[in-house]
């Protein structure tokens, strides 16, 4: 993967950070993205360069803001030595953990969730497609949630779920449209991976117990990053348009319904 440039949104911490480290270890130059975590993003960029001998930079941008998306795209493309971004990982996306009925949302929360989880992602893809098409090679990964591909009801998560399930359809449509251009598009759907586990390895969580997980152990950032790494490989070009659950069997929708019964 040496010579490829990867842009990972929301990558100063958590799953985005683990993905950035994994792709850097494969030889990719890395464009990090953050909104408020400038110190962490700059530290990670320095760590990536030192550990893996690749180039790394960090760009502040809010994916829910259209002008920020355009600026992020412009800066990433200008920074890349080839003038294109080969791998786009759309990790960033606002989420309100507090359960809330749709009637209790205000307009700002509704538009913010939809812009950050759907429209901003589509716009960033749109900015990157010309370069990928020009090189006849590209990898685009969207982030969803477990079982997003089934389009079921998710009470108290109506806006977030609507944005992500809309992204499911877009993922599949874009995959078909761009397959002939050497561009693959997938959605990776993490399970309920929380807190520090987002930046831990499989080995670090393997001996721990998670009673809510059918697998029996908590998920880790490495669980997600390993799947993304595989999908980004040149040899994975025959796979496209997939919605990949990485959940250990956990179903957040059934759990939330049961807890309200």
Domain that holds residue 238: 5-260
Q: Which of 89-98, 136-145, 210-219 shows the lowest per-residue confidence on average (mean pLDDT)?
A: 210-219
Q: Is 195 left (phi over 0), alpha (psi -120 to 50) or beta?
A: left
Does the pTM of the predicted model rise above 0.75? yes
* Predicted pLDDT at 84: 93
* Predicted pLDDT at 255: 58
Dihedral (CA of 10, 16, 17, 19) sign: negative
Over residues 215-237, the pLDDT tens digits come to 889 899 999 999 999 999 999 99
Helices marked H in the chain — which ranges? Answer: 14-25, 38-52, 66-79, 107-114, 120-135, 158-178, 202-205, 221-232, 252-260
CATH number of the domain within which 251 lies: 3.40.50.720
Quickly state the pLDDT bin for 242 (edges 50, 70, 90): very high
Q: Is 80 left (phi over 0), alpha (psi -120 to 50) or beta?
A: beta
Quickly state the pLDDT bin for 134 (edges 50, 70, 90): very high
* Predicted pLDDT at 213: 81
Total domains, the chain: 1
């Amino acid at each position: 993967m040496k010579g490829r440039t990867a842009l990972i949104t929301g990558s100063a911490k958590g799953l985005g950070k683990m993905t950035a480290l994994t792709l850097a270890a494969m030889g990719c130059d890395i464009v990090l993205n953050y909104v408020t975590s400038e110190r962490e993003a700059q530290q990670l960029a320095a760590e990536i360069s030192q550990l893996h001998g690749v180039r790394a930079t960090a760009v502040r941008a809010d994916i829910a803001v259209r002008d920020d998306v355009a600026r992020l795209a412009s800066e990433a493309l200008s920074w890349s030595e080839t003038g294109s971004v080969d791998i786009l990982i759309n990790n960033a996306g606002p989420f309100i953990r507090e359960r809330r009925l749709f009637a209790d949302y205000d307009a700002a929360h509704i538009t913010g969730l939809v812009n950050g989880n759907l429209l901003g992602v589509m716009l960033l893809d749109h900015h990157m497609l010309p370069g990928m098409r020009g090189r006849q090679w590209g990898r685009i990964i969207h982030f969803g949630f477990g079982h997003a591909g089934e389009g079921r009801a998710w009470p108290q998560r109506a806006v977030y779920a609507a944005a992500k399930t809309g992204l499911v359809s877009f993922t599949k449509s874009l995959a078909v449209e761009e397959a002939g251009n050497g561009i693959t598009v997938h959605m990776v759907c993490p399970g309920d991976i929380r807190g520090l586990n987002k930046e831990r390895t499989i080995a670090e969580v393997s001996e721990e117990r998670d009673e809510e997980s059918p697998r029996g152990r908590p998920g880790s950032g490495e669980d997600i990053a390993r799947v993304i790494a595989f999908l980004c490989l040149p040899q994975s070009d025959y796979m496209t348009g997939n919605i990949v659950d990485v959940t250990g069997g956990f179903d957040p929708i059934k759990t939330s319904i049961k807890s309200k019964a």
